[in-house]
Every structure is written in C-alpha cells, then in structure tokens.
Chain A
C-alpha cells in the first residue's frame, strides 16, 4: 500500500531538488546548447566548487553559499582559460567535436584524481545554521538544506535568463552559434563572446557545487553521477533553452525522488540516465528544442 503522504513528500522534495538541478545544468545548457562545446568536465567543476566551499567552511567557518558566490570570479577566469586552450587546440583547427570531447574527458579525470589526492576519498560536508532545520506545511516537511539551494538555483536561472535576453552580451551569446559572420558585423568578436559565455558556465558550475555540498556530503567521484543528470536535463530541456532547462530539472528531480521513495535510493541514478537514453533515442531535440 502506497502512503500518499509519502508520495506528496517525495514530490515536494523532488521539486526542491529540481531547482538545484537547474543550477547544476545551467552551465551545460549554455556551453553545450548555445556554444556547441561539449564540456563533459562540467560536473568536475561542480565538485571543485563544492570542495572550495568545504575548504572555506572547515577553515574559516564561512557560509558555503557565500563562498560559492565569492569564488565565482576565480572560476570564471578558470573557465575562460580552459576555453582559450580548447579554442586554440581544437576549434580553430576545425576538429572540435570528438577530440574536444576526449580533451574534456581527460580534464574531468584530472580534476577528480587531483581532488582525491588532496582530500582523500572520505565524504566531506559543510556546516551552516540552516542545515538540519525544516518547516512543516500541511503535513509536508520542507528541509532548509533543500529549500535554500532551490531558491538560489531559481535565482541563478532567472539571472541567466535576464542576461541572455536583456543584455548586449547575452544576445550575442544567443547569436554566436547561429551566425558568426552576422555577429562580427554587429561589432562583436565571436571568440571573445564564447570565452565570456564559457566562463559564466564554469562560474555557475562552481556556485552550484556550493549548493551541492549544502544538500549532501561530497566525494571526488560524485561528478560521475552528475554527467548523466546534467546532459539528460540539457537534452530533455531542448539545448540552449533556459526555461526548458528548469522544466526538465524539475521533471528529473521529481522522477528521481519518487523512484528513491518507492523502489529505494539505489535505483534513482538509473532514472536520469534512463531519461537521457530515452530522450536521445526518441526526441534528441528535447521538449523545447530549437
């Protein structure tokens, strides 16, 4: 007998989780969806951001999410640098797709191994006043450690949406994958625009890493779980669509949460990859595809 209370709780937790998934996936929607750069190392940067939050929290007692925000300029710079290497090595030579993919796979592996060399393979977690507290609304418990990341994730989604639709640089990013010549005529350098966008993508990844470690403890190999999630969300949401990313994130969050409640947590990971395989096989353009 399924208890409806349990299901309702799972759905609410899933929606909250979805807001966080949106934060993790925004960068991929931006780089994969709009720049056609398949940054498979994105989840590794998420974990790197999580460890930055852990480091500042354990040594200085700084709030993890505040750390995440403070670290965004650094990760923006790292992202811009990685894109420059990628551009010089692959894109300019016109052999970006497969060798570029291998390059990012190597970067993912290096970050993961470097983190386990530095911090070991123990689970790391952070402390903050809101972690562990919760409120109850009509029999449904809402944990703050899920609510806060969800709210931050929604704010990030809104900010990226406004950036892309309202600013010159944002519109240039939207245009760079469609027509580079037209973009040049508008007085914008495509490489520079892509560098900016990639930097923003990595900065978003690091901030979402701070959210991740707020929700649950992290090990260096956590990034592998998120490869499927972020690409499932990016593909399902329709590559490059910010609204679609949010919708797909919530769908995935609810599906995983229900799966974990009804069948056990060991199955929940298969949901994202199953959705990814299904989306790729049936509708590669996603729900809100271009």
Chain B
C-alpha cells in the first residue's frame, strides 16, 4: 500500500465513521465503539515505543491520565474547548514522554519498565493530593450543549475515529521511514546500532515523546466521555495491561498488529462486559495475554506470516 493509498483508506474510514454517526443506531454502539477506538490509539501509541524501539512501558495509565487531567485543569481554569484540550493533553504527555526518554540513558530493559510503573504511581499520588482537579474525591464535569452533533456520544465517537486514523497513519509513516529502521536496529542491538552511526538517543527521545503524545491524546477527551473522573479510574491498571496485550496479540513489529489486537480484544471486552461481567472480561485479557506471550510471541500477524511461508 502506497502512502497515498493509505491516506485514501484513512479518509474513507473517517467517512465511514461520519456515516455511522449519521445513522443514529443504538447509542450503546457509539459508547462501546469509542472505547474500542480509544484502545486503537493507545495500542498504536504504546507500540511506537514498545514494539518499534523495544522499550516496554508499564506506565500507560500515567500518560493517559495526564491527558485526562490536563483537560480537567484547562476546563476548570479556562473553559477551554475540546480541540484545545486534545492538543494540550497530548503536548503535556509528550513532555513526560521526553522525560522518560532521558531516563533510557541510564535504564535499559526491565529497569526501564519498572521505572515507568513507579512513575505512574507517583503521578497518581500527586493527583490524589491535588484538590484543584478534584483530588481523591474525583471531578464531575457538566457538559455544555453539544455542538453540530445529535449527542455527545456521537460526537466523541466520530472524534475518536479521526484520532485513531491519524495515530495509525503517523505510526505507519514512521515505521516505513528511516526512523522506523533506526528504531528496529536499536531494538535488536542498541550498542551495535550506536556503533553503526544510528543516533540512538535522538531516536529514543523521538519514540518516547511521540508515544507519550498519542497516549495523552487518547486520554484528553476522557473527562467528556465519562463526565466523572477519579484518580483510580484514570490511572486504571487495565490501560497498562491492555496497552501491552493488544500489540502482543496482533504483533508488535508492524502498525497493523496493534490495530488488529485492539479491535479484537477491545470488542471482545465490550461484548463480555455486557453479556458476562466486567471482572470476568479482565480475566480474559490476562489469560489471552499470557497465552499469546507463551505460545505465539509474534502475535497474529506473525502467525499469518509463518503460515504463508510454508
């Protein structure tokens, strides 16, 4: 698929989203669709760092929540409109990403992962003690009348379609450029890549910043979606596990992997939440994650590739 073709597909997907928004089916479809698309953004963003560069980030909730709480702060302080929230949420999370990028100078492999987890908890503690954005009690958002669309559900769904398409297109572009090849080189052997003249630090900083940006973007509309945000829901461990499990299931080396993983696992969770229970669907995520990492470490795209080769 050429870049122009990919762009056309992206525009078509957004058009499809708009069409679906216009159809006015059962509101739950938009509600659930938003979550699945949000996971497309999260999984793709996580994969830029985790899949392409090989740095496993356990701190997804930190970035997601930073996006959400940046929104809350701006709503509270300036009554800022949604596009501003998304951009600022992304930028603040990108700054955090830049910070953990410098952390990679000292921390490799598992130490990096543990540090990102620690970061998430420290940030959560800070938010819990910050009364302005609701503290431990949480923050209730009163949504203004919805512009252009029939309901907030439809608007947010359409927005997430667009965000997902943009994120995937950016990830795909990176993967196919020299940056993607450089990241793959440092994933396989960082020292060797450095010796061959790959600017590893600059590439890592780029990957952590970009990954952080899109994780923040995914979190920025969250207050509008749930209207009540508390630290434990914004910093939910589920985001960390899903961000990991979805690319692992789909396959981490290509842009398609996280998309497939997010759509499959995200949809399965939404169905399981309605039909069985929300606790059980989390159990399914955990079991699927462990099964895939043990039995099919290359993910579904890896399995398909293996079958084709035969």
Contacts and interface: CB of A to CB of B under 8 A. Distances in A.
Q: Tell whether A and B belong to one assembly.
A: yes
B117 A107 contact: no
Given A101-B110, A284-B107, A117 B244 contact: no
A99 B114 CA distance: 14
Contacts of A227: 114, 117
B237 A228 contact: no
Contacts of B126: 270
Nearest to B117: A227
A98 B282 contact: no
A101 B56 contact: yes
A280 B122 contact: no
B279 A116 contact: yes
Determine the interface band of chain A, counting residues with CB < 8 A from chain B: 35 or more
Contacts of B241: 105-106, 109
Interface string A248-290: 0000000000000000001101100110110011001000000
The B interface is mostly helix, strand or loop, or mixed, namely helix
A228 B89 CA distance: 26
B280 A117 contact: yes
Interface string A213-242: 000000001001101100110010000000
A110 B287 CA distance: 7
A38 B122 contact: no
Contacts of B286: 106-107, 109-110, 113
**In the complex, which of the residues B106, B111, B287, B294 has the most CB atoms of chain A within 10 Å of its own CB atom?**
B294
Given A105-B240, A106-B286, 14 more contacts: A89-B293, A89-B294, A98-B56, A98-B110, A99-B293, A99-B297, A105-B241, A105-B244, A106-B293, A113-B279, A266-B125, A270-B122, A277-B118, A284-B106
17 contacts: A38-B110, A38-B114, A101-B56, A101-B110, A102-B56, A106-B287, A106-B293, A107-B290, A109-B241, A110-B287, A117-B279, A227-B117, A266-B125, A270-B125, A273-B121, A276-B115, A280-B107
Interface of A: 38, 40, 85, 89, 95, 97-99, 101-103, 105-107, 109-110, 113-114, 116-117, 221, 224-225, 227-228, 231-232, 235, 266-267, 269-270, 273-274, 276-277, 280-281, 284
